[in-house]
Structure 1
Amino acid sequence: MSPVLSLPLSGFRIAVTSNRRSEELIEALERRGAEVTHAPLLKLAPLDDEAVLVHQTKKLIELRPEFVVISTAYGLRRWFDSAEAAGLGHELCQCMKTAKLYVRGAKAHGAVRALGFHAAGVAKDGTTAGLLSLMANEVSGRSVAVQLHADSDHGLGLALRELGASRVLKVEPYRWLDTSSEQHLSTLVAGICAAHFDAITFTSAPSVHALFAAARSRNRAPALIRSLNERIAVATVGPVTAAPLQAAGVHAPLVPARHRMGAMILQLVEHLGELGTLSTPTVFGPCELRGRTLSLNGEHCELSPAQTEILRRLMEAGGSVVTRDELVAALPAVSSNHALDMTLSRLRRTLPHPELITTVIKRGYRINL
């Protein structure tokens, strides 16, 4: 096998949906051989206009809440950067020191400690539910400030009021720009529905919400969910990110035991290595399919999504005959026998050896073992 194809993700096409830290993720995937498409689903609004955040910070300093909820490490750092620039850093620190800090997740806890603060409680699972369970008997009649992550966190304020909090102050260190109308999202949605990718990565729940919003606005949500369930590996950085996928009907997103980007990458490598790679001996030598890259006795070629699905079905059958009806049913983009014939004809012309696929008259097709 060539040095390129010996890399663990060679042959696989992966969509990266994150904006922040995307360069780090893309570089890690490409270093392992993947072909990466970057399609950020959300973009952070610039900090040029700090008026809203400064106003919220002044309100917090005035209120002196008894509890402060920290949702994210990046949000906390961004909040303090803004406060320092506005000359409010010292006063904000004093408020944090006198309040009970409750933190959602290990990364946010690390940021709290880095700033010299002590957390009264940490939701180890990184979820809002875990955070609320820690605070259930604490906040009745008390004032609480909440550092929000994104729009999807707004239910946290209502939940705290239901626990009896007398006042909830929301602090939003960052806002997301609306990118739903941008062309790259149309391309991403279409690519997912057509299984142009072998895997897609998510590093935040808001990105998941943005994808489904983009799919719904284009009337592609059912097709997108079907493709994510049947044809594309879905990698997430943790359970908070996976939750909206599961709620939308994506059955088995990958969730690493350690909620870190590095762990997500390693889990994806293992998953694609086990389930995304097929190998079989043939009369023409060893045949390996990695994503949409076929290696046949050392010769390589790139296949279309439909061609890949046909070859995958034939290889999985292990030399047994796969009927025409079975192939048509397995290919959403192939709706007739004529379309199947055209796809098979193009596939054979693409293969290093067209005779790799044998026609069994009146029955179907099989791999030539």
Structure 2
Amino acid sequence: MTDGPPGPLSGFRIGVTASRRSEEQISLLERRGAQVMHAPALSEHPNWIDEDALRTATRGVLDQPIDIFLATTGIGMRAWFEAAERWGLLEPLLDKLGTAEILARGPKSVGALRRHGLRELWAPESEEFDDVLSHLRGRDLTGRRIVVQEHGQSLSMAAHALRRQGAEVTTVAVYRVLPAEDPEPMFALIERIVARDLDAVTFTAAPAVSALMEAAVSAGHRDEVIAAFTADVVASSVGPVTAAAFEMWGVPSIYPGRSRLAAMVKQLEAELPSRAVGTSLGVAGHTLLLHGDDVRLDGAEIKLSPAPYAVLQALLVNPGTVVSRRELLAALPSGTAGSEHAVEMAVARLRAALGTRCIQTVVKRGYRLAVDPVGTA
């Protein structure tokens, strides 16, 4: 048994796809008792900038008037301003953007703008780019020149929608997100999702969702991954922007009210226990809890080797019902010595772990769990 009270995520298995701040997230989860599998979806240095292409795009922005400017990410705006400063173009760029109606997707892009003296006219509370587009959807944009700062993925479809409203649209790709250098952990994660061997997988960036789904398609597991996320494995997103990346796949995703790492972990603390399908019984005055391979007695973790674990599973099929030695022998894992003595040894080890009163011997018949009269806990 382990010392101290169990954490709120004890017994739960969680996949982490983050590359940035992954150590912090893993620590938060493990301190709460979770078993963590780390499979980075993106490169540790994901924000690759094509300096020549960005310089050319910047000069194109400076060459013509701007009516509306859409800022989508704080990291993208900071990278653009830093690059422009290196080229001696920061002041002209700020002057040009300052003449436009500025719409910002969320607080991070707002912060990056304001640090350089630029003020947004409007930003959605949702922090979703779709709501920025909705803000523009009812307007006549004929002849209006719109500049869109892209995040790590292309916004060509959004630009096309604005052009259909009559706008002249220029997209500026400040950076591109690169996949993880080693894809093997991601494929291993997909296998565990398909096997329903994880309770949740966390995502802190929309490109991470795309990377996982693209890997699932490549591995031939697209439908299985979608089915697992829909039924048994929780897709946990840090916020609505990341969750929106799942929508095109028809995958439900949960996210907290505040787009913060700690809030995402806190939500999992409440969500996973409420979804857990396990067995909880009152046995000989104790509470016995099984969730997956995790066994707990009065909240303390119990480590069982394969043979006593197999006996416990057989006794739990119909709690309180007598199970014969022959039936228990058949339940033992392959490779176990095929005799009733093997059953007696497995029962003895199970009693040593749970307490002698939890497993009762019924003379000439077999064994049963000493289920409390009140029944299921």
- TM-score, normalised to structure 1, is 0.78
| 1:246 positional shift | 3.5
Residue identity matched to 1:28: L
Match of 1:164 among 141, 149, 166: 166
Counterpart check, 1:205 vs 2:206: yes
Extract unaligned runs of 5+ from structure 2: 322-329, 337-342, 361-367, 372-377
Change (3 A) 1:175 1:285: same
Residue identity matched to 2:99: T
Once the two structures are superposed, the pairs formed by residues 148-227 of structure 1 within 5 Å of their partners are 148-151=150-153, 153-165=155-167, 167-179=168-180, 182-227=183-228
For residues 190 and 302 of structure 2, what CA distance do their matches in structure 1 show?
28
For residues 277 and 4 of structure 2, what CA distance do their matches in structure 1 show?
15
Name 1:53's counterpart in structure 2. 54
Name 2:144's counterpart in structure 1. 142
For residues 142 and 318 of structure 2, what CA distance do their matches in structure 1 show?
64
CA contact under 8 A between 2:286 and 2:297: conserved in structure 1? yes
Q: Percent identity?
A: 33
**Bigger Cα Rg:** 2
Change (3 A) 1:106 1:91: same
| 1:69 positional shift | 0.6
Residue identity matched to 1:18: A
For residues 267 and 76 of structure 2, what CA distance do their matches in structure 1 show?
27
CA contact under 8 A between 1:180 and 1:213: conserved in structure 2? no
Residue identity matched to 1:198: D
- TM-score, normalised to structure 2, is 0.76
| 1:37 positional shift | 2.1
Once the two structures are superposed, the pairs formed by residues 192-341 of structure 1 within 5 Å of their partners are 192-250=193-251, 252-276=252-276, 278=278, 279-283=280-284, 285-289=286-290, 292-297=293-298, 298-301=300-303, 319=319
Q: Report the secondary structure of 2:122's partner residue.
A: strand
For residues 314 and 63 of structure 1, what CA distance do their matches in structure 2 show?
77
Q: CA-to-partner distance for each residue in 1:289-309, whole Å, 9 max, x for gaps?
A: 4564321254522799xx99x
Q: CA-to-partner distance for each residue in 1:173-225, whole Å, 9 max, x for gaps?
A: 21122449721121111121123322111122221121111111111112212
| 1:243 positional shift | 2.5
Q: Report the secondary structure of 2:62's partner residue.
A: helix
Name 1:129's counterpart in structure 2. 130
Counterpart check, 1:113 vs 2:114: yes
Extract unaligned runs of 5+ from structure 1: 322-339, 359-365
Change (3 A) 1:191 1:126: same
| 1:287 positional shift | 1.5
Change (3 A) 1:73 1:290: farther
Change (3 A) 1:7 1:140: same
Change (3 A) 1:216 1:65: same
Return the structure number with greater relative CO, CA threshold 8 A, min gap 6.
2
Name 1:335's counterpart in structure 2. none
| 1:40 positional shift | 1.6
| 1:113 positional shift | 2.8
Q: CA-to-partner distance for each residue in 1:220-240, whole Å, 9 max, x for gaps?
A: 112212222222222112223
Residue identity matched to 2:165: L
For residues 65 and 4 of structure 2, what CA distance do their matches in structure 1 show?
58
For residues 146 and 238 of structure 2, what CA distance do their matches in structure 1 show?
28
Q: Report the secondary structure of 1:78's partner residue.
A: helix
CA contact under 8 A between 2:78 and 2:112: conserved in structure 1? yes
Change (3 A) 1:139 1:275: same
Once the two structures are superposed, the pairs formed by residues 13-92 of structure 1 within 5 Å of their partners are 13-43=13-43, 44-45=45-46, 47=48, 49-92=50-93
| 1:342 positional shift | 6.6
Change (3 A) 1:246 1:341: farther
Change (3 A) 1:21 1:52: farther
CA contact under 8 A between 1:64 and 1:95: conserved in structure 2? yes
Counterpart check, 1:98 vs 2:102: no
CA contact under 8 A between 2:48 and 2:176: conserved in structure 1? no
Deviates more, 1:24-33 or 1:182-191: 24-33
- Tell me the number of residue pairs that the alignment of Structure 1 and Structure 2 aligns: 337
Q: Report the secondary structure of 2:217's partner residue.
A: helix
CA contact under 8 A between 2:67 and 2:145: conserved in structure 1? yes
Change (3 A) 1:118 1:303: farther
